[in-house]
């Protein structure tokens, strides 16, 4: 970096730099040019129009098919989308078996797997319920929701039971907005206030494009709080 700054200095200010005064010449020319190049280095690189967002979740969507067979598929394109009524958005391709199930039953569950379930969650995203019984293959247990027309995975620690209230055609994916009618949680993942503790759930993070699974990291600070003193 310093060497390239010197070359540019010589090109721009030859009378100063190519002289006996080289070693004494005002170094601010060089510093000024280096500063410009540092800024250039720090400019963002365009990666194009891609689904690069971090983190994305690893969720397992539970549905019944027209014959009442329970199915599960993995999704990463999802997130909370309304507080009142409490809603979650999930995006599915029409080609999936689950898509037809949701259209038919107007209901689904969102099952949050723990780190220990990473293999099963990946499998649920590799094969289709059209061809395989994913519950039978993994030995996991489908439980019929008592509140919506969909099954959930008993072994997963946190479940959202959802009723479809909106469907949005986007492109390759169709977004289903599910109103969260109830949340079911294992006692073991609740904190002293009775709320789910992320460090006990140990949910999985998915990274688009690089396609890898990650663990959730350490506690960083209290939300709606640590920002109070940052004004300079």
Ligand X SMILES: Cc1cc2nc3c(=O)[nH]c(=O)nc-3n(C[C@H](O)[C@H](O)[C@H](O)COP(=O)(O)O)c2cc1C
Which residues contribute to the site for ligand X (CB under 6 A)?
58, 71, 73-77, 91-93, 96-98, 122, 125, 127-130, 173, 206
Smallest distance from ligand X to CB 144, Å: 18
Contact 116, 165 (CB under 8 A): no
Q: For the chain, give the number of residues.
A: 232
- H or E element at residue 212: strand 212-215
- Closer CB to ligand X, residue 36 or residue 119? 119
Residue closer to ligand X by CB (options 171, 194) is: 171
- CB of 75 vs ligand X, minimal distance in Å: 4
- CB closer to ligand X, 93 vs 144: 93
Give the shortest CB-63-to-ligand X separation in angstroms: 8
CB atoms within 10 A of CB 10: 15
**Cβ closest to ligand X, residue 91 vs residue 154:** 91
Instruction: For the CB of residue 148, give the shortest distance to ligand X in the complex, in Å.
Output: 17
Q: Which residues contact 182 (CB under 8 A, 6 or more apart)?
A: 147, 160, 161
Q: How far is C-alpha 62 from the geometric centre of its chain's CA atoms?
A: 19
Cβ nearer to ligand X, comparing 96 with 145: 96
Name the token pair of 209. Answer: 């494009």
- Comparison of 76 and 153: residue with beta carbon closer to ligand X: 76
Residue nearest to ligand X (CB): 125
Q: 200-229: buried (b, 16+ CB within 10 Å) or exposed (e) per residue?
A: ebbbbbbeeeeeeeeeeeeeeeeeeeeeee
Report the nearest approach of ligand X to the CB of residue 194 (Å): 30
Q: Are the CB atoms for 206 and 199 separated by under 8 Å?
A: no
């Amino acid at each position: 970096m310093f060497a390239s700054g010197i070359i540019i200095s010589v090109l721009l200010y030859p009378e100063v730099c190519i002289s006996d005064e080289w070693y004494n010449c005002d170094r601010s020319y060089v510093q000024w040019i280096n500063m410009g190049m540092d800024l250039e280095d720090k400019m963002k690189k365009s990666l194009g129009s891609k689904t690069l967002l971090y983190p994305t979740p690893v969720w397992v969507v539970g549905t019944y098919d027209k014959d009442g067979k329970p199915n599960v598929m993995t999704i990463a394109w999802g997130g909370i989308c309304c507080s009142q009524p409490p809603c979650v958005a999930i995006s599915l391709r029409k080609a999936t078996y689950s898509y037809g199930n949701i259209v038919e039953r107007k209901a689904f569950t969102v099952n949050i797997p723990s780190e220990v379930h990473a293999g099963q969650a990946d499998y649920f995203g590799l094969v289709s319920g059209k061809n395989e019984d994913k519950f039978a293959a993994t030995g996991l247990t489908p439980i019929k929701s008592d509140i919506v027309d969909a099954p959930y995975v008993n072994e997963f620690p946190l479940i959202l039971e959802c009723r479809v209230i909106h469907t949005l055609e986007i492109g390759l994916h169709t977004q289903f907005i599910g109103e969260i009618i109830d949340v079911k949680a294992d006692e073991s993942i609740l904190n002293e206030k009775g709320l789910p503790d992320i460090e006990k759930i140990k949910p999985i993070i998915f990274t688009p494009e690089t396609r890898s699974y990650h663990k959730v990291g350490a506690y960083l600070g209290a939300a709606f709080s640590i920002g109070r003193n940052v004004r300079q």
